[in-house]
Amino acid sequence: MKLSKTNIVLIVVLSVIVAAGVVVAVIMFRGNTEKVSEEAPVVEPEVDVDEEVETRFGFPVDDWKITNDTVRQGDYLGTILNRFGVPMSQVDKIARISDSVDYTRISVGRPYCVFSSPDDTTAIAKIFVYENSSLMFTVFDFRDSVEVFREYHDVDTVVCTASGRISSSLWNVLDSKGYDWDLAVGMSQVWAWTVDFYALQKDDWFKVIFEEYRVGGETVRIGKVLAGVFSHNGKEMWAIPFVNDSVVEFFDTCGMSNRKTFMKAPLKFTRISSRYTNSRMHPIHHVPKAHLAVDFSAPMGTPIYAASDGRITIRQYGNGAGNYVKIRHNSVYETVYMHLSKFGKYNVGDYVHQGDVIGYVGSTGWSTGSHLHYEVHENGKKINPLTFDPPTAEPVDSANMERFNREKRPWIDKISKIELEN
């Protein structure tokens, strides 16, 4: 059918009107959508966040009335528990529980904590916690039956460094910098064979890497000495850790062992009260006499170590020597340890290794105070233990030298970066 000119115009006009209507509709739809979006924002779902509950020894603080105190002179576990309303029948159960572990043993000055009901005006103990040490505590739970168990605080091990120059003694330097006595003990054990801690010189210096144990951000104990260097009499003594024959030992940068066949001193870091001399005034007889030994002043009960491997030949009481031990190390050397308060577990004929406890510091025999009288005999002659220079122990095995050279480098770099005061 042939359309007239008028009809064609009419169709074009209608098409334009329809297209315009579609465009307007789209614009209005988008406008309404944006309006709805503005008026009704999307609501994010709420997430419940649990509040952190404060605890002490694993128990919520808000649930309890807490009493803190320390063990006093004359206190026993039973008397403390009685003060906090625990009957003797339950205390007796604790004694029966203490089979392999004696839970009833407590020490003067140690803290304890009592948990009682919040509304209890008499503070009867429901839970009693005794702090055995800065790392360990014992829980006595009386809520149902009697339950006793030991726990350890969460401990963080932190690697630390220290350095210093000697002005008078190692301890004075460490103390002035706020370090614990245990760090001096640890250092004296690492360099026990190479550094004479009883003859340190002014301007000797050290750099050391060690571990600290921390609980709640506070240092509670010094851990192991990991590595370091000690300059003594102008000579640098390095201590590089290395696993040699499945044992961690310390070596210098060339792979020579820090360990000598004899220890410089057979007990932990202490002080010399009398040196090796051909003449000194005897403290008891008040006449000049030779003192061919070294006296180490130390607290009563301090452990005494075998200075080297050997066999015990004497373990007895002597009139002047008191309780004493003699060890034959080989055909040349013997050592003697006098005035012991008591002996170790080894008897005559037993073979002991360097570092084994053979006795404890005392004041038996001719003695005016607790100390160790220490002698070194070479071919039967008494020599000066402090100037005695024994041979070193075995170096790094040649088969392990490549690994040692590879592993020593990071330690040397870390130690070298420790700043040393001028």
pLDDT tens-digit profile of 245-258? 778 899 999 999 98
- Residues of the chain with pLDDT > 90, as a percent, come to 47
Q: Region 5-34: what's the mean pLDDT? A: 52
Q: How many domains, in total, are found in the chain? A: 3
- Which tokens sit at 350? 């037993």
Domain membership of residue 217 (yes or no) is: yes
Residues 329, 331, 333, 335, CA torsion sign: positive
In a domain, 361, yes or no: yes
Q: What is the pLDDT of residues 378-401, one digit of tens each?
A: 889 999 998 888 877 889 989 999
Q: At 312, which CATH number?
A: 2.70.70.10
Residue 415, exposed/middle/buried by CB under 10 A (0-12, 13-18, 19+)? buried
For residue 66, give the CATH number of its domain: 3.10.450.350
Residue 312 in tokens: 């015990």
Average pLDDT score, the chain: 85
The token duo for 159 is 């690697």
**276 and 344 together in one domain:** yes
Residue 307: other Cβ atoms inside 10 A? 29
Residues 148 and 166 in one domain: no
Residue 163 lies in a domain: yes
Selection from 291, 290, 325 nearest residue 305 by Cα: 325
Same domain? 314 vs 241: no
Low-confidence winner among 12-26, 140-154, 245-259, 365-379 (lowest mean pLDDT): 12-26
Please indicate, yes or no, if residue 147 is contained in any of the structural domains: yes
Residue 285 has pLDDT above 80, yes or no: no
Residue 121 and residue 174 in one domain: no
Average pLDDT over residues 43-52: 58
**Domain, as residue range, for 112:** 55-152
Q: Which stretch of DSSP H or E encloses residue 231?
A: strand 218-232
Query: Could you tell me if residue 37 is inside a domain?
Result: no
pLDDT tens track for 314-343: 999 998 899 999 999 988 899 999 999 999
Q: What pTM did the predictor assign?
A: 0.63
Q: How far is CA 87 from CA 78, 84, 93, 233, in A?
A: 9, 9, 10, 65
